[in-house]
Amino acid sequence: MRDLSYAEKSPSTFDYPLSSRFDESDSLVVFDDVFIPWSHIFVYKNIDIVRAQFHETPAHVLGNNQAQIRFSNKLKFLIGAARKVTAMNGIDKIPSVQEKLGELASIAASVEGNLLASEYNCTIDKNGVARPDPRFLYGV
């Protein structure tokens, strides 16, 4: 097994703040010549079971929850970068620029608010798994 990052040779974390930290979207794990015994195979060539394990278990909602957490944090990062760029260029006092920055901040707050609401309004299933409320989670 070998970890590969698209930015593993990047000069600094300042230049590549996300990809140098093995962000999920730009990392890859390669398993070469691996034996997996049949006793460890859950599903093989059965589309109905594959569909069921994704939608009839918490997998779908928990996967989306994780994706929304990442999305929310990246939005905040990008808004911070936009704010710094406008300040460095001296255009952060222009009303139309302030309006766009405010609009971006509003979008980020809505995404984060829906995410927090989905977690606050979670349900505990029969196996003790906390499932975020899809009403708020998919409303993002």
What is residue 32's predicted lDDT score, i.e. its pLDDT? 85
Tens of pLDDT, residues 121-139? 999 999 999 999 999 988 7
Residue where the block lists tokens 């890859």: 28
Q: Going by C-beta distance under 8 Å and a sequence separation of 6 or more, which residues neighbour residue 119?
A: 65, 132
63 has pLDDT over 70 = yes
What is residue 3's predicted lDDT score, i.e. its pLDDT? 52
What is residue 51's predicted lDDT score, i.e. its pLDDT? 87
Least confident residue range of 14-18, 37-41, 63-67: 14-18
Tens of pLDDT, residues 94-108? 999 999 999 999 999
The whole-angstrom separation of Cα 20 and Cα 128 is 36
Q: Are 132 and 123 in contact (CB under 8 A)?
A: no
26 has pLDDT over 80 = no
- Burial of 104 by CB count in 10 Å (0-12 exposed, 13-18 middle, 19+ buried)? middle
| Long-range contact set of residues 68-72: C-beta below 8 Å, sequence gap at least 24 | 68/111, 68/114, 68/115, 68/118, 68/137, 68/140, 69/115, 70/24, 71/111, 71/140, 72/108, 72/111, 72/112, 72/115
Tens of pLDDT, residues 5-21? 556 666 677 777 666 66
Q: Nearest 5°: phi and psi at 31?
A: -105, 120
| Structural element, H or E, at residue 100 | helix 95-120
Most confident of 38-42, 49-53, 108-112, 135-139: 108-112
Rounded to 5°, angle at Cα 29 from 26 and 32: 145
Higher pLDDT: 75 or 28? It is 75
Higher pLDDT: 87 or 24? It is 87
